[in-house]
Amino acid sequence: MGWFRADWPVDDIYALTGERLARRGVRLLLADLDNTLVPYGVPLPDQKLKDWRDDLACHGVKLFILSNNRHEQRPRVFAQALQVPYIGHAGKPKTPSFHRAMEEMGVGPQETAIVGDQVFTDVLGGNRAGITTILVKPIRLAGNPGRYVRYAVELPFRLLARKEAAL
């Protein structure tokens, strides 16, 4: 079960301040795009997200989008508008894209975390890559019945992470 357990469950990305991440030794924050940073289909970052990125940077934490989106244009356009590096079609939970991002940014696993909304891609991939895993609640489930099924299957792992974090 350890592969599927997040190290740090939070409600949303805004609970992750640059100060909190830096205190934990995080210098690189890999972030899933859809349903983690913004709802599915939101084409560009808003000012609140840009301000959050700036807060991270002020504390020495670099944001990097790691998206499984199969349409290369989606993560590229979003990342360029947010002015952060990215890897699209990342293949999570496979680990090569995690290692490539760390190599590009010059940091090791002990200085890296991933934040995402899915246990079987973001958390599993992060745990396999040996980095800190942060699980957020999905921003919005509406629009795809398959998402409801996936999140229902993930529920025990979400509850376990929250229970262990409270201890």
Q: Where are the chain's structural domains?
A: 2-166
CA distance 28 to 17: 13
Residues 6+ apart with CB under 8 A from 5: 123, 127, 133, 157, 160, 161, 164
pLDDT of residue 1: 52
Q: What is the pLDDT of residue 149?
A: 73
Tell me the range of 8-12, 109-113, 138-142, 156-160 where mean pLDDT is highest: 109-113
Over residues 103-142, the pLDDT tens digits come to: 999 999 999 999 999 999 999 999 999 999 999 998 877 6
Q: Which residue has the tokens 């301000």?
A: 51
What SS3 state is found at 166? helix
pTM of the entire structure? 0.90
Q: Does domain 2-166 have CATH number 3.90.1200.10?
A: no
DSSP state of 15: G
Q: What number of residues does the chain have?
A: 167
